[in-house]
A and B are shown apart, each in its own frame.
Chain A
Amino acid sequence: MTKTRVILDPAGPGNSTFSDPGETLKRTEFAARVAAVAAALADHAPMRICLPLLSDLGSLAALVAALESHHSVALIPGGDAPEVPAFASAVLTGAPGGGFALQMTGTPAVADATDRIYLRSSGSTGTPKWAVHGTDRLLFGNGAAVIERLALRADDKVMLPVPVHHMYGLGAGLIPAMTLGASIHLVPRGNPLTVFAAQRAVQPDVMFLVPSQCRSIMALGRVAGQLRLVVVAGDKLGADEAAAFEEKHGLLVNLYGSTELGAITAGRPSDPPALRHPFAGPVLSDFELAVVPTDDPDAAEGAQVMRIRSEHGLFGYADPATGEIDRPAGEYWTTGDLVRAHDGGLIEVLGRSDFAVNRDGLLVHMGDIETVISRVPGVAQAAVVSAGMTRRGAGLTAFCAIEDGHDTDDEAVMAACRAALQPRAVPDRLVVMAALPLLPSGKFDRRVLTTEAQSRLDA
């Protein structure tokens, strides 16, 4: 299969570099790594390849080679036990130092497996959905819109201490930097010491972060270097937090997007702080926004459901067994968020319309937590509300009522949460009540519960 798509332009800026905490490569050296992987892929007609990605150059070389060779890729987190989707015909794993492994899974290749990027959507529990994107749409459509809005430059050094198998790290950070020819520095997310040391060594111009990282960095109280641009996405960073971070570390813009659509809005670096910090910016140039009133009586004033159309969004969701699209995307897409549109098209993201919040940059569906708690023997009622903010993101308070005579207690309920849920979905606190307040309809009175949760925070 002859490579016809060029992502890593050999004629690009000659002094750009690629690095992870273990090694730094010049552009020509990294291109050679990509070529070695591409040579191994050349014997295969385009197929669906699963790529377990780590924040290292081995993974990056594998990804670039697969995309340049027109294979379809399904991106998952790398690690000891990667969850390879059933529809993948092969698994391609990059290794530090230039090694890689291509293993066939036994799943037959399908007739047309070119140029798709499969991204797994996040959730608190349960089976993931696979969003199917067109490679060119992401690379040269949405990617180009990001470059334009963020005013990224080919001579930038871009640091990505966020996972690149998720749409934020991939679509907003890695792909624009790659197609532009910028230097790229991958850092595993998680240990603030690693991020600090990497930033200090590399002195990047641009960093992509999530709010919990901003809070960790502020709590550390150290400055590793000045940035021309800090991009923050995943959940809402308070305007005061953004201003404080900007004062110490560099100009900050918010970005809002989704696994299904890529980067949707982003702040303009040329705007003053008063327009950048409270809002997530206008929609990118490849989007058309339509907002519709919400029918949620508890929604904030002026809140509207965000509906968006883009020529660069996903094709649809794929059946996890076959990889075939079984839920095509309609013309408009509802992101599930409530927003307010302000003058100049500035989007203020108010929160989810579907009982979900952002924690650690990923969605947590409160219904999933309620289900786990409800299944604990002796629990009669369970409700989860969001109140306050923590370093992970939105605060979560769980309420439950326990049946009389049952010896289940709050420790048992929290232990069940820790066992069944991702760490970000474990409630920050649990309140046991005699009975949860109800509306006349029989539903939980979440407004009362939220007020109760907030008063406990304030106490």
Chain B
Amino acid sequence: MARDIMQELIEVLTRDLKVDASDVGPDTALFEGGLDLDSFAVVEMVTKVETHFGIQVSDADFVPENFSNIKTLAGVVRKYLPAAVD
């Protein structure tokens, strides 16, 4: 079964960061103008995402634009996953 990366990311946010599921969708901004995650929550999110997917995002990809919303972040995660999981 194809892996739903976006859905898994939403689950990480709701389970590990205690974000309300009704507050987050594919286009919800994770920073200003959306969930407004503070600096500690940002660190928490990044480490939980990397742990959950077993990936290590490169320093070059470690930029706010790649973490701006679930859809964008899913694209980054797919890049680091082994081929043909999604």
Selected from B39, B40, B62, B67, the residue in CB contact (under 8 A) with A222 is B62
**What is the interface residue range for chain A against chain B?**
10 to 19
Is B42 an interface residue, CB under 8 A from the partner? yes
**What are 7 contact pairs spanning A and B, CB under 8 A?**
A192-B42, A193-B64, A193-B67, A196-B62, A197-B64, A222-B62, A392-B40
State how many angstroms separate the Cβ of B17 from the closest Cβ of chain A: 14
Residue of A at shortest CB range from B47?
A219
State how many angstroms separate the Cβ of B43 from the closest Cβ of chain A: 5
Question: Does B43 lie within 8 Å of A190, measured CB to CB?
Answer: no
Question: Does A191 lie within 8 Å of B31, measured CB to CB?
Answer: yes
Question: Does B64 lie within 8 Å of A191, measured CB to CB?
Answer: yes
Is B38 an interface residue, CB under 8 A from the partner? yes
**What is the interface residue range for chain B against chain A?**
10 to 19
Residue of B at shortest CB range from A21?
B64
Given contacts A200-B59, A222-B62, contact A192 B38 (CB under 8 A): no
How many inter-chain residue pairs (CB < 8 Å) link A and B?
41
Give the chain B neighbours of A224 by CB distance below 8 A.
59
Given contacts A190-B38, A193-B67, contact A219 B43 (CB under 8 A): yes
Interface of A is mostly: helix
Question: Does B64 lie within 8 Å of A194, measured CB to CB?
Answer: yes
Give the chain B neighbours of A212 by CB distance below 8 A.
39-40
Give the chain A neighbours of B64 by CB distance below 8 A.
191, 193-194, 197
C-alpha gap A213/B39 in the complex (Å): 8
State how many angstroms separate the Cβ of A189 from the closest Cβ of chain B: 8
Interface residues of B (CB under 8 A from A): 31, 38-40, 42-43, 46-47, 59, 62-64, 67
Question: Does B59 lie within 8 Å of A193, measured CB to CB?
Answer: no
Is A216 an interface residue, CB under 8 A from the partner? yes
Is A220 an interface residue, CB under 8 A from the partner? yes
Give the chain A neighbours of B43 by CB distance below 8 A.
192, 216, 219-220
C-alpha gap A212/B31 in the complex (Å): 18
Given contacts A190-B38, A213-B39, A391-B40, contact A197 B63 (CB under 8 A): yes
Given contacts A191-B31, A193-B67, contact A222 B59 (CB under 8 A): yes
